[in-house]
Amino acid sequence: MEFIKPNINIDFIGRRKVAHLVSGALIVLSVLFLLFRGGPNYGVDFAGGILIQIRFTQPVTPDGIREALKPIALEDSIIQEFGEKGKFEYLIRLNRTDVELSGLSGKVEKSLDGMFGEDNVEVRRVEMVGPKIGKDLRQKALLAIFYALLLMVIYISGRFEYKWTMSIIMAACLAFGVYIISALGMSIIWLIVVAVLITIGLCWFLRLEYALGAIIALFHDVCITLGAFALTNREVTLPVVAALLTIVGYSLNDTIVVFDRIRENYRRTQSRNFAKVINQSINETLSRTLLTSATTLTVVICLFILGGGVIHDFAFALSVGIVVGTYSSIYVASPILLIWERPSWEGGAARIKRRGKGS
């Protein structure tokens, strides 16, 4: 059985202008959404605060819950129904840390017990994060994203272009730049923005086109996924950051398969028409790209539908990321290689040939 015929030849590169427009528009929209919402909507993990999931045995209204929370001055918390309808499950959420959080969950339980009767209230989940821990987790998450990007860029430029020296120079520059920024006491969010800019600049300057293509694709994927979160008003929590990093790995995985094929075809055909080589390579790997994405997407959507409320946002991030990541490895990462008419590793390719056909 075959979905994609072997001799398929879609002109991806020819339509790259359209693709660039679409990607650009999506990124701008995502950034606008994020700005409009005042940055990512941090969940309890990062913002600090408290989240309580409660199941009642009988129907209750949000106003009823609010009434019960009045004596402990929490009537301004966010109360929303959670999970399946008709299970009387609610989330009570307070994304603030200016109240005494220590022991708050007990007080909430007591108030609800008093209002609805102890046997009718089941506290299923409590997540309370104090301001210090919230800050710690924020730092950790951002550092994780930073290091993941750094390591991957080093790996790609080293592995793909036989430019380990270059990639080490780049890593050193990056580490130095980041050191300066942190010495200036800038926040980590700026640190990441600057790190990405430094990386893109260095890739440009050192002509590491594969790394450049890959990192722009990664930026594209993460940005649009975050935009989708802002659009659907979902919260960024720890598992969501884990999902983002997984997307980074996954999208890179897709990109690498295409890049590998481009390198192989370029070497084999010695074609002067780089655009044609790229297009051919995308077409040759298309079947694999779509199949893998389809199977992964299938299982992740199963998780999204059947996995329950706790894992919902995590599965959502993965679903969006897989779709965007597949698109970006076809339409974003590869066309970027065309920025320089001819690959800079032409010389490198000759060197490899001399070494004998390695792979």
Partner 1 sequence: MSKKLRWRGLLVLIVIAIALIYLTPSISKTLPPWWPNVLPEEKIHLGLDLKGGMHLVLEVQAQKAVETHLERTVEDIKYSLRKAKIRYRELKRSGPDRIGLTLLRDEDRKAVEGMVANSFADLAVESGSFAEREPELELVLSQKAQQHTKRMAVDQAVETIKNRIDQFGVAEPDIRPQGRDRILVQLPGIKDPKRAIDLIGKTALLEFKLVDEDNSLEEALRGNIPPGDEVLYQIKGESGSQKKIPFLVKKRAVLTGEYLTDARVQIDSRYNEPYVSLSFDSRGARLFERITGENIKKRLAIVLDDVVNSAPVIQDRITGGRAQITGRFTMEEARDLAIVLRAGALPAPVKIIEERTVGPSLGRDSIDKGLKSMIIGGLIVILFMAVYYRFAGILADLALFLNIIFIAAGLALFSATLTLPGIAGIILIIGMAIDANVLVFERIREELRLGKTPRAAVDGGYSKALVTILDANITTLIAALVLFQFGTGPVKGFAVTLSIGIVASLFTAVFITRLIFDYLIIERGMKKISI
Q: How far apart are CA 224 and CA 234, in angstroms?
A: 14
Q: How far apart are CA 42 and CA 344, in angstroms?
A: 42
Stretch that binds partner 1, among 20-28, 74-82, 132-140, 173-181 (CB under 8 A): 132-140
Interacting residues with partner 1 between 109 and 128 (CB under 8 A): 109-110, 122-128
CB of 310 to partner 1, least distance (A): 6
Report in angstroms the alpha-carbon separations of 193 from 32, 177, 227.
16, 12, 16
Residues 292, 323, 344, 352: which binds partner 1 (CB under 8 A)?
Answer: 292
Task: Rank residues 22 and 352 by Cβ distance to partner 1 and give the closer one.
Answer: 352
Task: Rank residues 16 and 208 by Cβ distance to partner 1 and give the closer one.
Answer: 208
Residues 27, 29, 115, 133: which binds partner 1 (CB under 8 A)?
Answer: 133
Contact 215, 149 (CB under 8 A): yes
Task: Rank residues 159 and 207 by Cβ distance to partner 1 and give the closer one.
Answer: 159
Task: Rank residues 81 and 109 by Cβ distance to partner 1 and give the closer one.
Answer: 109
Residues 68, 195, 211, 300: which binds partner 1 (CB under 8 A)?
Answer: 300
Q: Which two tokens stand for residue 3?
A: 């979905």
DSSP summary character for residue 159: H
Q: How far apart are CA 126 and CA 92, in angstroms?
A: 10
Interacting residues with partner 1 between 156 and 195 (CB under 8 A): 156, 159
Residues 20, 66, 96, 140: which binds partner 1 (CB under 8 A)?
Answer: 140
What count of Cα atoms within 13 Å lies in the side-chain half-sphere of residue 311? 12
Residues 194, 287, 344, 348: which binds partner 1 (CB under 8 A)?
Answer: 287
Task: Rank residues 79 and 101 by Cβ distance to partner 1 and give the closer one.
Answer: 101
316-320 contacts at long range (C-beta below 8 A, 24 or more positions apart): 316/228, 316/229, 316/232, 316/234, 317/225, 317/229, 317/240, 317/243, 317/244, 317/247, 318/243, 318/246, 318/247, 320/224, 320/225, 320/228
For residue 305, how far is the Cα from the chain centroid?
20
Task: Rank residues 155 and 162 by Cβ distance to partner 1 and give the closer one.
Answer: 155
CB of 48 to partner 1, least distance (A): 9
* Coil, strand or helix at 113: helix
Interacting residues with partner 1 between 34 and 93 (CB under 8 A): 53, 55, 71
Stretch that binds partner 1, among 31-39, 201-209, 227-235, 292-300 (CB under 8 A): 292-300
Task: Rank residues 78 and 299 by Cβ distance to partner 1 and give the closer one.
Answer: 299
Residues 92, 212, 230, 248: which binds partner 1 (CB under 8 A)?
Answer: 248
Q: Per this entry, what is the length of the chain? A: 359
How many residues form the binding site for partner 1 (CB under 8 A)?
A: 75
Radius of gyration of the chain (CA): 25
Residues 257, 323, 338, 352: which binds partner 1 (CB under 8 A)?
Answer: 257
Interacting residues with partner 1 between 325 and 354 (CB under 8 A): none
Q: How far apart are CA 302 and CA 304, in angstroms?
A: 5
Stretch that binds partner 1, among 163-171, 176-184, 205-213, 293-301 (CB under 8 A): 293-301
Choose among 259, 209, 192: nearest CA to 40: 192
CB of 148 to partner 1, least distance (A): 4
Contact 173, 198 (CB under 8 A): yes
CB of 172 to partner 1, least distance (A): 19
Stretch that binds partner 1, among 62-70, 152-160, 166-174, 340-348 (CB under 8 A): 152-160
How many other C-beta atoms are found inside a 10 Å radius of the C-beta of residue 114?
12
Task: Rank residues 147 and 340 by Cβ distance to partner 1 and give the closer one.
Answer: 147
CB of 273 to partner 1, least distance (A): 22
Interacting residues with partner 1 between 205 and 234 (CB under 8 A): none
Contact 205, 163 (CB under 8 A): no
